[in-house]
Amino acid sequence: MNAPESLPVRPTTDMAKEALFNILYNTYDFDSCEVLDLFSGTGNISIEFASRGIKKVTSVDKHSGCVYWLKSVIDKYKLHQIDPHKGDVFKFLEGHKKSYQIIFADPPYDLPTIPRIPELVISNNLLTDNGMLIVEHPSLLKLNGLPGYQETRRYGNSSFSFFEKVKEETADDQ
């Protein structure tokens, strides 16, 4: 299932994808998770989530060719648990209110606003209490000073930075 070469995508490498899914599969019960896939491109990650038992995957990409391709794959393979949306990811995050157990973002590596992704996810409360945001980014970009940051795992020139919901302090925490 190869996407047309004319689409503007940089797929997650197989090694990095396998490592990511090993982490997530050992952390979450996929049967009860809902996933948000940002900058989904051809839907490579959305399709992987669906094939591993995730019941609902919302994917967002602004490129109409990518969304069209993903819809054709959904129809061909009956992957109707994937719900593709054409739109700007940042506008989607600003206006969206649903929370997810897993949010995966794979923005273009040259996008200067990559740090806004965790900021918007955290400030708009888009993660469940045990939820996780994973941002794929070039290894040279450091995201460790952002709210909810937990760790970064490097896979060659690519890295995954993991973020969790920021817990509000209560009087008992002080």
Instruction: For 80-115, write each residue's pLDDT tens digit.
Output: 999 999 999 999 999 999 999 999 999 999 999 999
Domains of the chain and CATH, by start:
31-167 (3.40.50.150)
Residue whose tokens read 């045990």:
130
- CA gap 142, 111 in Å, rounded: 14
Contact of 40 with 71, CB cutoff 8 Å: no
- CA gap 51, 145 in Å, rounded: 34
Query: 50 in helix, strand or coil?
Result: helix
pLDDT (tens digit per residue) in 120-174 = 999 999 999 999 999 999 999 999 999 999 999 998 889 999 999 988 755 555 5
pLDDT (tens digit per residue) in 5-32 = 555 554 667 788 899 999 999 999 999 9
pLDDT value for 15: 83
Contact of 41 with 22, CB cutoff 8 Å: no
User: Of 82, 16, 100, whose CA–CA distance to 46 is shortest?
Assistant: 82
The dihedral through the CA atoms of 152, 33, 51, 124 has a sign that is negative
pLDDT value for 1: 57
User: Of 29, 60, 62, 64, whose CA–CA distance to 43 is shortest?
Assistant: 60
pLDDT value for 14: 79
pLDDT value for 7: 53
pLDDT value for 148: 97
